[in-house]
Amino acid sequence: MIQKDELQMDDSDDVPPLLVPVEEGTNLPDVAQTSTVQTEHSDKVPVTIITGHLGSGKTTLITRLLNDETHKKRIAVILNEFGESSGIDKSLTMNKEGEMAEEWLELANGCLCCSVKDAGVKAVENLMKKKGRFDYIMLETTGLADPGPIASMFWLDDELQSEIYLDGILTVVDAKYGLEQLAERNSNDMANEAIRQIAFADRIILNKIDLVTDEHIKDLETAIRSVNAVAPIYRTTRSEVPIEFMLDLHCFDDRSKDPFADANAGRPPSATHIDEDVRTVAFTVPGQVDLHKLDAWLQSVLWERTVPGRRKDAAGGMEILRFKALINATGNDRKCVVQAVRELYDKQEGAFWEQDEERINKVVLIGKNLDESFPQSFREQCLAAY
């Protein structure tokens, strides 16, 4: 499993929102009065992770969301840290040694902000003590953070019957510098942060498009699609994004919109040199899947980094960053939804198949050094009647 101590959140991004200090005895409406009804997760609080390079516009995005009164949600935000020059009044939470551990601030409309140096489990646990004061959590990562370990943290908590669930991962891309950031090379063999942030994304926000030409935008989107061929892209300026593109996505359960509509097993030609080893592989396979066989197949792919029934990866560098699948399971009239972030995966029983719906297995993998034999391996190793 991915260790939670991989998390690091010690860089600031843009100027944070204007806030007012929390006052003792503030009477806020109950969550049920301000949030929409949820079915499978009615007793849990959704979490959205916002990632992106420094200066891409993450905090501006959060500022707009927090100050938008149309969504009627009380949103708790975990920021990297509040800027020292922002002139914001702070309500401090002290630890036993009297040192500042957290900064809790509240917007006039009741939304909460928390600034922490380490946005690990402890920060979320402290937020959950305030449950009833908010109905949504947004976590802004540092510009150089890999969202994989952070997403895994929430999945691990979900297995422990926590009160939260991961709703989706948003990645903000700077239209002006995105190509340059994607082309950066790491000294090690790992994909750079910009590529990994795009690979993990469920939604991609292409910001500051007013600063570049249409041709530049086209080249950047082609480069993005060469890494992640399934995440919807929204073009914008000044981080103006419709709320429905960001919240209540249910990207990690069966209520998500079809994540396979834009999937393309081929790799589009890139107009710039990026990490050629990171790509999307998408395919469909008819037939019924034996879930026990699927478990064994996933464990080989995710944990052992091998393609079952095929020669072990000669390069030794195969790595799955994201995995999504809609499975037609043997003897079940419900869809099986499979999600994976790195080594951690989960299967959920979803909605019933429609009578006129084609029961076909849809699989999407995003990762490094992916083997072209995945479709054949899946067919041979997972189908019940192969």
Average confidence (pLDDT) over 130-152:
73
pTM: 0.75
**Per-residue pLDDT, 131:** 58
Domains of the chain with bracketed CATH:
4-245 (3.40.50.300), 278-382 (3.30.1220.10)
Question: What pLDDT, in 10s, does the model give residues 9-23?
Answer: 333 344 333 333 333
Question: What pLDDT, in 10s, does the model give residues 232-280?
Answer: 999 999 999 999 899 888 888 766 655 555 444 344 433 344 555 788 9
Pairing of strands 136-140, 45-52: parallel
Comparing CA positions, the residue from 233, 215, 216 lying closest to residue 224 is 233
Question: What pLDDT, in 10s, does the model give residues 345-371?
Answer: 989 888 899 988 899 999 999 998 887
Q: What is the rounded CA–CA span in Å between residue 178 and residue 191? A: 15
**Per-residue pLDDT, 312:** 59
Host H or E run for residue 205: strand 203-207
Burial of 76 (0-12, 13-18, 19+ CB in 10 A): buried
The encoded tokens of residue 157 equal 């908590």
The encoded tokens of residue 17 equal 């929102």
**Per-residue pLDDT, 114:** 59
Backbone angles phi, psi at 168, to 5 degrees: 175, 170
**Per-residue pLDDT, 188:** 61
**Per-residue pLDDT, 379:** 94
Alpha helices (H) in 137-213, listed in sequence order: 147-159, 178-183, 193-200
Question: What pLDDT, in 10s, does the model give residues 92-105?
Answer: 333 334 343 445 55
Any idea what DSSP says for residue 40?
Answer: T
Averaged pLDDT score across all residues of the chain: 74
Average confidence (pLDDT) over 149-171:
72
Comparing CA positions, the residue from 275, 262, 183 lying closest to residue 229 is 262
Phi-psi region of 104 (alpha: psi -120 to 50; beta: other; left: phi over 0): beta
Choose the weakest-confidence range: 37-41, 43-47, 218-222, 324-328. 37-41
Question: What pLDDT, in 10s, does the model give residues 287-317?
Answer: 999 999 999 999 999 999 889 887 654 445 7
Comparing CA positions, the residue from 303, 315, 306, 318 lying closest to residue 368 is 318
**Per-residue pLDDT, 224:** 95
Alpha helices (H) in the chain, listed in sequence order: 31-34, 58-67, 121-128, 147-159, 178-183, 193-200, 214-227, 291-302, 374-382
β-partners of residue 93 are 102
The encoded tokens of residue 193 equal 């942060």
The encoded tokens of residue 29 equal 């409406």
Question: What pLDDT, in 10s, does the model give residues 172-224?
Answer: 999 999 999 998 876 666 678 889 999 999 999 999 999 999 999 999 999 99
**Per-residue pLDDT, 19:** 35
**Per-residue pLDDT, 22:** 35
**Per-residue pLDDT, 179:** 93
The segment with the largest mean pLDDT, out of 64-73, 89-98, 155-164, is 64-73
Rounded (10°) CA dihedral 160, 161, 165, 169? 10
**Per-residue pLDDT, 288:** 96
Q: What is the rounded CA–CA span in Å between residue 107 and residue 357? A: 46
Q: What is the rounded CA–CA span in Å between residue 193 and residue 195? A: 5
